[in-house]
Structure 1
Amino acid sequence: MFLTDKNIIVFNELDSTNNYAKQLVKEKAAQGTVVLAHYQDSGRGQVGNFWESEPNKNLLFSVLLYPGFLEAGKQFYISKIVSLALTEVLKEHINDVKIKWPNDIYVGEKKIGGILIENTVKGITLDSSIVGVGVNVNQEQFLSDAPNPVSMKQLLKNDFDIHEILKAFLQKLENYIEVLREGRLEKVDAEYFQSLFRNEGFYPYQKDGKAFSARIAGIGSFGQLQLEEPDGNVTEYMFKEVEFVI
């Protein structure tokens, strides 16, 4: 099991759990080592975005993985299984939890969680993966200009045990790592697509300030979002090349 007392390093405050985890990778810390912070003053999201979090209210952590069995070209599978594990945990409490491509976690049309994965490659395989996760758990007000945050407490009016959510996530992540190790990629592909936000029907998107309508046709081997427009034309987009209009 990943989850042992000696493998969780807890900080009251940290600039970024991913930054600290990078140092642990250099020191060859054990697989499954978790860096948990009650507050991050420089929490990061995708492509430099800032993650707002009130102290002691939310789940903010990074976990170290060494998925040397996985080819470097298949590293998006780490993103898929992390997203699926987190989605499954939240579904135990909340309805309508989806993965907004590539790995934001949504409830309805509001963002409840985000994931930042930083991989290193050695030869033709992955060497390490630092999996950074932020989940809005007990925060009741959001003051930044983030467009659509929501927390578990806002939705359900209850306080939640952050450590219990972490424990459940690590157990589910470990299960999915075994699925990858066994080479059952089709299972991961199917579950990821089934869990995607707006995976059925046409919705508005935007590229370079220009709006268009499309439906999600699939996910490419490197994680590209494949969008089909009403005329049948399919275009692939990498991260940040296209925006969901919400």
Structure 2
Amino acid sequence: MFLTEHPLFDEIIYKNKLNSTSTHAYSLIKDKLVRGNFIVVAEEQSSGKGRQKNIWYSPKGGLWFSMGLYNIVQNSSITLYIAVILHQTLLDIYPSMAGDLQIKWPNDIMLGGKKVCGILTSYYSWAKYLICGIGLDTNVENMPIELSEIATSLRGYLGIEINNSIILKTFLDKLYASLPLFIENGFIPYKSYYNKNSYLKGKVITLDTEFQLFNGKVLKVNGKGALIMELGESLIQPFYSGSVVKID
């Protein structure tokens, strides 16, 4: 069904069901059961991980995987870079989504105003590993009512069955080809594309930094991956982390 090898990875691991591919990837690193780059793919997750300790609904049919990237330089904008590569992947395969497929800072991809993908990255300096978990709602159907108003799937939008294998291979090929550029130049080469496809640009939002709530208009994302907001009276401020809790 999926890849058996890829030049980016030393090991490709498939599981029918996991609590979380990210948790499994962490366990493999902690127990020193892997070396070099690896990827864990699961048919389903019972406790998929999202930001702020949220659970990501991950039944069979979706594309759920986590990558363990070894000895990669820590960069706060890597989540945004990966979102760009995944966004490009999806539009290459399904160009009819152009305009409706957007990137939401800091870690989501939106489709028709609803969440279709979440990206979660964690860096473990003691092991020199970055874990990047991706949950993409591809063929997920019959979402719980409480999720159907805020989340969607590629199949629900396009009306066709989605080939997870093609998406995964195309994404990994693009990641493998572009990673050297990101390592050398950071997010700067991807800033323009990100802003062109930004879900938040031009909108008034409330941002929770855990220490304070900020309300203002989103202007852009800068070359370091920070969200640039106008807070009033020409006060411009960058934010490198936070959660969007309201969009006016």
TM-score higher than 0.5 here? yes
Q: Show the 5 A alignment for 1:96-111.
A: 96=99, 97-111=101-115
State the superposition RMSD in angstroms: 2.8
CA distance in 2 between counterparts of 1:187 and 1:86 reads 15
Inter-CA distance 207–2: structure 2 relative to 1 (3 Å threshold): same
Query: Counterpart amino acid of 2:85?
Result: A
Greater strand share, structure number: 2
Q: Show the 5 A alignment for 1:1-246.
A: 2=6, 7-26=11-30, 27=32, 29-55=34-60, 57-68=61-72, 70=73, 72=74, 75-92=75-92, 93=94, 94-96=97-99, 97-121=101-125, 127-143=128-144, 145-146=146-147, 147-183=149-185, 185-199=187-201, 201=202, 203-207=203-207, 212-219=215-222, 221=224, 223-229=225-231, 231-245=233-247
Q: Which runs of 5+ in 1 are unaligned?
A: none
CA distance in 2 between counterparts of 1:163 and 1:19 reads 22
Deviation at 1:184, TM superposition (A): 5.9
Query: Counterpart amino acid of 2:144?
Result: L
Q: Which runs of 5+ in 2 are unaligned?
A: none
CA distance in 1 between counterparts of 2:116 and 2:36 reads 27
> 1:165-199: CA deviations, max 9, x gaps?
11111111112212123336421333333332132
Does the aligned pair in 1 maintain the 2:37–2:67 contact within 8 Å? yes
Deviation at 1:30, TM superposition (A): 4.0
CA distance in 1 between counterparts of 2:122 and 2:177 reads 21
Q: Give identity over the alignment, percent.
A: 26
CA distance in 2 between counterparts of 1:46 and 1:174 reads 25
Deviation at 1:232, TM superposition (A): 1.6
Deviation at 1:211, TM superposition (A): 8.4
Deviation at 1:112, TM superposition (A): 0.7
Deviation at 1:25, TM superposition (A): 2.3
Does the aligned pair in 1 maintain the 2:207–2:245 contact within 8 Å? yes
Deviation at 1:242, TM superposition (A): 4.2
Give me the TM-score of the superposition, normalised by structure 1: 0.83
CA distance in 2 between counterparts of 1:174 and 1:104 reads 21
> 1:41-72: CA deviations, max 9, x gaps?
110101111111222x100000111243x2x4
CA distance in 2 between counterparts of 1:43 and 1:214 reads 32
3-state SS, counterpart of residue 12 of structure 1 = strand
Inter-CA distance 47–219: structure 2 relative to 1 (3 Å threshold): farther
Give me the TM-score of the superposition, normalised by structure 2: 0.83
With 170-179 and 3-12 compared, the bigger mean Cα shift is at 3-12
Inter-CA distance 151–99: structure 2 relative to 1 (3 Å threshold): same
With 1-10 and 113-122 compared, the bigger mean Cα shift is at 1-10
Inter-CA distance 51–25: structure 2 relative to 1 (3 Å threshold): same
Inter-CA distance 9–95: structure 2 relative to 1 (3 Å threshold): same
Query: Counterpart amino acid of 2:50?
Result: G
Does the aligned pair in 1 maintain the 2:9–2:39 contact within 8 Å? no
